[in-house]
Every structure is written in structure tokens, then in C-alpha cells.
Amino acid sequence: MTTASAPTIAINGVDLPPIGIGTWAWGDSLFWSYGKDYGEAQIAGAFHTAVNAGIKLFDTAEVYGLGESERIIGRLLKSTDQKLYIATKYMPVPWRLGAGAVRAALDNSLQRLGIEQIDLYQIHQPFSFLVSQKTLLQTLADAVADGKIGAIGVSNYSAQQMTEAHAILADRGIPLAVNQVQYSLLARQIERNGVLETAQTLGATILAYSPLAQGLLTGKYNSETVKNKVSGARKLDPRFTQRGLEKILPVVQLLTQIGENYNRTPAQVALNWLIAQGVLPIPGAKSSEQAQQNAGAFGWSLSQAELTQLDLLTRSWQ
């Protein structure tokens, strides 16, 4: 077994544990089953378990639960005196016109979160519509100068879009802190399309959303559970079918086998593989148990041979 002290990943000069919590499901009943299968009490348990385990980063967005995710985080922040790192996102939809709309959205997020500064503010999608990327990023740069934002990031940007955003911010002396993209053993496209390499070149951190492939890498989904338990966003994912599960089964089996060497779960092995790629995964957590499992993904290391095994088995997902 290879052990290591818990590493950190820097975002704009701030050292953070190499895993965060994604909060799309917090307060969201449109894509998830909030209010039915879980509620704020369970989320509070997940939050406090994560914080007590040393996790510092919580990522949300104004569109998650139509703002309810931010409100829940705002309430939870009042229940702890620990310094946490809060990230949220602005959605550049077409009916938002001009810099004023960006500033209003930022102020609304600050109000819902109940804080004076958002540590990391990201543009959720590389849409331009009637507001150019330059206007968007210049407005956010002004907000950094005003103290409302600590760092600026983007999400779902291509390598070229990332490079352009970096150049716009560089003119203001501000780094591009992150690009938040989908990345897991079952979604490795950023290794092939230049996003991962460009982020490394620009000094931007990759935040990996859906790092467990909507739970597929946990090993809890099979032909029987899919029949009875798939709900919300998973219903739209073709991987949650008999054929999809059959294709993924060898990956889950290898994760299970490797995990036995460390007394770790398949999910923890999958997350540790991502950490070894130098990215910061942000798995979701709707319960204390899920948060504890996420926290068990760091503080130890897979061997090079195990990393290579996982790499070779999942290259078809690049």
C-alpha cells in the first residue's frame, strides 16, 4: 500500500484538500428527488461530516434548485465557524442583457449565501448570446476589484475558449482559476480534446464534476437496482441501461479488486485515480454516509501499477 499525507491543490493561491463537494442535488427537485428521498436534515448531515473530515470546498450554482442550493449552503455556513471555500456559478442565459445583469446575479448569489465575498465565481457555460465573453469577464474582474469575488473560473469551456478567457483576464492582472468540466474514468474526453493540457499550461485547476459518473462507479447499480432505483437525472443517462451496465461492469470489478488492497470502496478508488491526475473532484453527497465515503478518497495513494491498470481499461472512454 502506498500512503501519503493529505495533499493539497491550489486554486488561485489557496491550498485546498484535493476533493470538494458538489451540491447540484441540494434543494433540487427537478433533476433530483429533494423533498422526497432526502431533505435538508440529511444534507446538513452530509455538510457537517464533510467539514469534520477536512473538506473545505463546496460548489454550487444559482440554477441549482433555482437558488435553493445556495440558500441551504447559506444556512449551513451559519452553523460552523470553520473557514470554508464557496464556489458558485453564473448562467449566461440570453435574456440577461449587459454587465448590469451579471452584477445583479452576483449580488443575488451573495444574498442567498449570506456572505460578503464568493471565493470562486464561475461562468457556468461558454454561451455568449448578446453579452460577449469579454464583457462577462471584465465585469467579473471589476467584482474582484470590489472585493465581491476572490477568484474567477469557467465551466464547460473548450481548450480554445479557456485560452481566450485566460487572455482577457490576464489583461486585468487576474488569473483564470479553474475550468469545471465532466471528468471520470467513464468520461475522459478532456485528456484528448486539449482541455486538461491547456489547463496545466495556463495554471488553471480542473474541477471534475460527475467524478463517479452519476454513481455508476460506486458499484451499487446493476440490472436489478436500475429497474427500481433510477430516478431524476439518471433516467436521461443511457449508461443506466442493461447494455450500459454490462459495458461498465469490468471497470467496477477492477475498482472493487483494487479497493480490497486498501480497505476502500470502488468510489474511493475512482476518486483517488482522479486526484492522481492532478484535478480536484467534486462528488455529490446527499447523506452523512456519502460525505464520509468521499472523504475517504484522499490521504492515501494508488500504486503506479494500479493507476496504469485503470488507465488501460478505461481508454475507450477518452
Cell of 186: 467513464
> Hey, which residues does 121 pair with through a beta bridge?
88, 152
Which residue in the list 34, 38, 64, 209 is annotated as catalytic? 64
Helix (H) or strand (E) run with residue 138 in it = helix 133-145
What angle in degrees, to the nearest 10, is found between the helix axes of 159-170 and 133-145? 50
Tell me, yes or no, if 64 is annotated catalytic.
Answer: yes
> What dihedral angle (degrees, nearest 10) is formed by the CA atoms of 264, 296, 288, 43?
-130
Q: Is the dihedral of CA 91, 93, 98, 101 positive or negative?
A: negative
Contact 5, 76 (CB under 8 A): no
Cell of 147: 472585493
Buried residues in 108-146 as b, exposed as e (16+ CB within 10 A): ebbebbebeebbbbbbbebeeeebebebbbbbbbebbee
**158: alpha, beta or left, given left = phi > 0 and alpha = psi -120 to 50?**
beta
SS3 82: coil
Taking every pair of Cα atoms in the chain, the longest distance, rounded to a whole number of angstroms, is 55
As a whole number of angstroms, the distance between CA 190 and CA 198 comes to 10
Residues with a known catalytic role: 64
